[in-house]
Amino acid sequence: MNTIVAKKYVHIHDEKLAAGTIIPGMLVQRTSADAVIAHNRAGGPVAPLFALEDDKQGRDLDDNYASGELVQLWRPVPGEQVYAIADDNSTHDIAIGDFVESDGSGRLRKVDDELSSAGKSEFPSHIVGIALEAVSPNDDGQSRFLVEIM
C-alpha cells in the first residue's frame, strides 16, 4: 500500500488548510473557518472526508500535515475503498465485515453498542463503512486498514 485510495469511481478532491496535525488516512471535518481538523465527534454524524498523502509535494503516507499546510482531501462515495486509520487506543479488534465509525480523533473504531455514542437510529449517519481487512490496534497511532465506504 502506497496510497490512501484503494478503489475510486469518482474524482471528488479538494484542498483545505489544516487547523492542526493531520495524518494521511485520517477522517477529517471542516471547521467554521473552512479549514480541516481530525473528525472530533466520536460515534457522531459523519460525511466521509479523508486526508490523502501529499504526492504533489513528493510526500507519502508517513508525512503528516502540520497546522497551516494545505491538505489534499478526498470525499469518497459509497462503494469506494480507503485505507483509513484504526483507533489505536481501543482494545477492540476490528474484523472483516465490522461496521466502523469515528473514534473522535480522526481514526475509526468498530461500531459496538458499548462503544457507540450514537446508539441505535433509523438512519445510521455515524457509520463510515465496513472493514474489508482485520486490524488489531497497536500503539503507533497509524494502523491502516481497508474500509469500504457506506
What is the per-residue pLDDT for 113? 58
Q: Which three cell numbers stand for residue 120?
A: 441505535
Report how far residue 40's alpha carbon sits from residue 46's, in angstroms, rounded to the nearest whole number.
10
Report the 10 Å Cβ neighbour count for 112.
13
Query: What pTM did the predictor assign?
Result: 0.87
pLDDT score at 115: 45
Q: How far is CA 61 from CA 2, 102, 144, in A?
A: 7, 20, 10
Give whole-number Cα distances, 143 to 39, 68, 114, in Å.
17, 25, 22
Q: Specify the pLDDT at position 12.
A: 74
Q: φ, ψ for residue 129 (rounded to 5)?
A: -175, -160
The pLDDT, as a whole number, for residue 72 is 94
Residues 19, 67 contacting (CB under 8 angstroms): yes
State the 10-residue block means of pLDDT for the chain, 150 residues long: 70 90 96 96 93 87 94 94 88 90 94 58 77 82 87
Cβ–Cβ under 8 Å, residues 16 and 36: yes
User: Which grid coordinates belong to 100?
Assistant: 466502523
Q: Specify the pLDDT at position 62.
A: 87
pLDDT score, position 116: 47
Contacts of 58 (CB under 8 A, 6+ apart): none
What is the predicted pLDDT for the residue at 9? 64
Per-residue pLDDT at 58: 82
Residue 82, classed as helix, strand or coil, is strand
Three-state secondary structure call for residue 108: strand
